Structure 1
Amino acid sequence: MSTTSPVTTTPTPATSAPAVDADPDAAASGFHALRVTRVEPLTDEAVAVSFAVPAVLRATFAARPGQHVTVRAELDGVDVRRTYSLCGEPGADQITVGVKAVPEGVFSRYATAGLAPGDVLQVAPPGGSFGLDVDPSRTRHVAGVVAGSGITPVLGIARAVLSAEPGSRVTLLFGNRSARDVMFAEDLFDLRDRYGARFRLLNVLSREEQESELLSGRLDRDRLLGIAGALVDVPDVDDWFLCGPLEMVTTARDTLVDDLGVDRSRVHVELFHAEPVARRPRPATAAATTTAEVTLNGRRSSVEVDGEQETVLDAVLRVRADAPYACRGGVCGTCRARVVDGEVEMDVNYALEPDELARGLRLMCQSRPTTATLRVEFV
């Protein structure tokens, strides 16, 4: 997964040596130093970045298809963290992420212009609930609806399903402005050549006419309904994976569930960007300050939280530098924790599924306590 609220500083020039977090206890804080082995151009504004995973860390970086990693670097004196979805071939000796430059995106501009093989960055192990577990005995039909850089986690899912489940099929609806903007085009064509009818790719271009009118335009409700009626057997699809900007993802989800009758539990969502929203007003009965007990990486800490001025994550970072976070916008889910005692209210939630909420999970970057005491466990 990638992109969130951008950091507005000037990125390190491409000619400079990479600025890397040199904390010798980085591994204890959840990050590991990984060396870049390849930076492959994908489009004019996107690259695929591969990292070597040493044998001693291969179990740590073993991932479920669809998961993401958090990449950390110090750029112009600023600790920058971003989450990027894993999209490489199944295997344990390296991991690959896709990075697309975004306006005012410090790390994405650095990665697309200044990162080079041999550079070392701090990378946290895979996380996130988006994705699936492969099972060679399964026979299923998996479909993806993605736009732009939203291809990255769904490409990883498609590769894993096609290679590990000989009886399964994958259909992918991929929205872009033009053919020039299609990330991982060669990889997708390779999957089509390798797996034939088991992999169906439908490229939808909004600013470039194609032979099929159905595939020319934006992935809006009408187009999705048209494609579903003519090209995709919706009842035959077992699971849908949606990834991209907020508007596209919510439109696709609502179209599938409300218009096409797909069970909500079969629609899985991941966002790559969401605009900031206004904070929710706190309840009048909310405690002025909260004493929070936090369990993280096997250690407990206590901190006072002013719910009017800060989130739980803001407060925890004052006493625990190893608190996990990346986007701080409610999108990536890196800061998820279980509320064991007390209550919080989230300003927004784009990352947690209904079943996760039912288990008490909350996003600490969006959570403001409403009780005088609070106990949470990071997961």
Structure 2
Amino acid sequence: MPFRTTDNSSAESERIEAAIAMATFHELTIAELRPVTREAVAITFAVPPALRETFRYRQGQHIALRTRIAGEQIMRTYSICAGVPTNALRIAVKRQPHGMFSNFANDELEPGQTLEVMPPRGHFYTPLDPNQAKHYLAFAAGSGITPVLSIIETTLAVERASRFTLVYGNRISASILFLEELADLKNTHLERFNLLHVLSREPADSGLLHGRITEEKCAQLCERCIDIAGVDECFICGPEPMRQAVTEALHAHGIERRRIHVELFTVPGERKRSLPPRHAATQADHAVSRVAIIVEGRRFEFDLARNTESLLEAGLRTGADLPFSCKGGVCATCRAKLLAGKVEMAANYALEDDELKAGYVLTCQSYPLSKNIVLDYDA
């Protein structure tokens, strides 16, 4: 059946308008570009007064960007690296081998140019309270420092009685993102901020701070450098192997998994997408599902043969302008609420348990299991 749309004119127009604003790309001007290493640049966006509420963020959240490079539409997701009190919408883009956008950002972008930006999303944070006195612990590697820096800056500013320990892994000191900013935080909060740099390709005064952040390394740090018994919340951001290693080490040292918060970043192309295992074993089943998608207050409908492609890919193919970025189940830009039907997700590195219980899915990883599917991107 051909692709069609219908206008949505419900009594909840204000809710829909707010949802559309949060699900829509807005054109923002680049206010500043500043190198942070030889291979990375910090980009600060100017947010006009009319969009200040739309782009108000929490520490640890991320934004999706969209632009055209050599005639091709490119979307990428980057964590906000500025503390909430600064009111600065800032990201850091590290150059990647063959990275189309990262090389474009480092070589060609200039202040005054514009990019399409989606409002902040993500749940890589815990609520802050000025009356709290907690000990927070974070492990980051490479570009994983970006959301963690926002979390640290915000926490130390809001909770004056709390303290923070950061274990930050890199190859060499020259590759450390935001080295000066971290040093300034350390100097400003001498008694409240404990900073441990772990370098894998550069000698360190202590052998404990040399090498990769493995499960064994994390265990040693917990036993010798960190007051692990007093830790209230943990944050981890880095490649998947590091995430798994640190999570297991922290859990073995008594940290409950509910107090371990994870943000996963991946280099494009690092993970190949595939059908869920259940689907891979039933390729002969080519029943058709009727899919309805609600996005920006409009309804799109199309048929999708099961076991062929994800709901996101099918929606894009039929012409719907759907939000997405990584397509690997990591960034949650493609998150939508399942209003009817059943789907199966091949991977999920972004949604929390409460979001899953509420019916949210990652459409880039979702495949239909029922005859009718209804997805709401505006929820």
Q: What is the TM-score with the length of structure 1 in the denominator?
A: 0.89
1:158, 1:170 within 8 Å by CA — same for their partners in 2?
Answer: yes
* Aligned: 1:125 with 2:119: yes
Pair 1:266-2:266 in alignment? no
Residue 172 of structure 1: aligned partner: 166
**Amino acid aligned to 2:271:** E
Residues 58 and 84, structure 2, Cα contact 8 Å, conserved in 1: no
Offset of residue 260 of structure 1: 1.5
Q: Does 2:209 correspond to 1:209? A: no
How many equivalent residue pairs?
353
Q: Is contact 1:40-1:47 (8 Å) kept?
A: yes
Q: Distance in 1 between matches of 2:358 and 2:94?
A: 34
Indicate if the aligned counterparts of 1:58 and 1:92 stay in contact, CA closer than 8 A: no
Superposed CA deviations along residues 144-191 of structure 1, whole A, max 9, x for unmatched, are 101000000000000100111111111100000010110000110111
Alignment of 1:276 with 2:272, yes or no, is yes
Structure 2 segments unaligned to the other structure (5+ residues): 1-19
1:142 partnered with 2:143: no
Q: 1:196 is paired with a residue of what secondary structure?
A: coil
Matching residue's letter, 1:54: P
Aligned 1:1-379 pairs, distance under 5 A: 30-91=24-85, 94-257=88-251, 259-273=252-266, 274-281=270-277, 282=279, 284=282, 288-319=287-318, 321-378=320-377, 379=379
* C-alpha distance in structure 2 between counterparts of 1:28 and 1:134, whole Å: 23
CA contact (8 A) 1:65 1:133 kept: no
Provide Cα deviations, 1:314-337, integer angstroms capped at 9, x if missing partner. Answer: 122245643111111111111111
Alignment-mate amino acid for residue 159 of structure 2? E
In structure 2, the residue corresponding to 1:323 is in which secondary structure? Answer: coil
Compare 286-295 and 45-54 and name the one that shifted more.
286-295
User: For residues 333 and 41 of structure 1, what CA distance do their matches in structure 2 show?
Assistant: 28
SS in structure 2 at match of 1:70: strand
How far is the alpha carbon of 1:93 from its aligned partner?
5.1
CA distance in 2 between counterparts of 1:51 and 1:106 reads 20
Deviates more, 1:83-92 or 1:333-342: 83-92
1:19 aligned partner: none
- Paired with 1:254 and 1:221, the residues of 2 have a C-alpha distance of 7
Structure 2 length normalisation: TM-score? 0.89
Q: Aligned AA for 2:293?
A: V
Moved more, 328-337 or 134-143: 134-143
Alpha-carbon shift at residue 296 of structure 1 (Å): 2.0
Q: Do 2:23 and 2:119's aligned partners in 1 also have CA atoms closer than 8 Å?
A: no
* Structure 1 position 342, deviation (Å): 1.2
**Contact persistence 2:85–2:154 (CA under 8 A):** no
What is the RMSD of the two structures over their aligned residues, measured on CA atoms? 1.9
Partner SS, residue 84 of structure 2: coil
Query: What amino acid sits opposite 2:343 in the alignment?
Result: V
| Alpha-carbon offset, residue 126 of structure 1 | 0.2
Unaligned residue ranges in structure 1 (runs of 5+)? 1-25
Q: Distance in 1 between matches of 2:168 and 2:86?
A: 27
Report the 3-state secondary structure (helix = DSSP H, G, I; strand = E; otherwise coil) of the residue aligned with 1:174.
strand
Q: Is the 8 A contact 1:253 1:267 kept in 2?
A: yes
Is residue 91–residue 146 contact of structure 2 (8 Å, CA) maintained in 1? yes
Secondary structure at 1:365's aligned position in 2?
helix
> Is the contact made by 2:186 and 2:195 (CA closer than 8 Å) also made in structure 1?
yes
Q: Aligned partner of 2:181: which letter?
A: D
3-state SS, counterpart of residue 339 of structure 2: strand
Residues 275-320 of structure 1 show CA distances to partners (whole Å, capped at 9, x for unaligned) of 2254324164966211112222333222222232211111222456
Separation of aligned partners in 2, 1:327 and 1:165: 33
SS in 1 for 2:254: coil
Judge which range, 134-143 or 173-182, deviates more.
Answer: 134-143
Q: Percent identity?
A: 41
Give 1:222 shift: 0.9
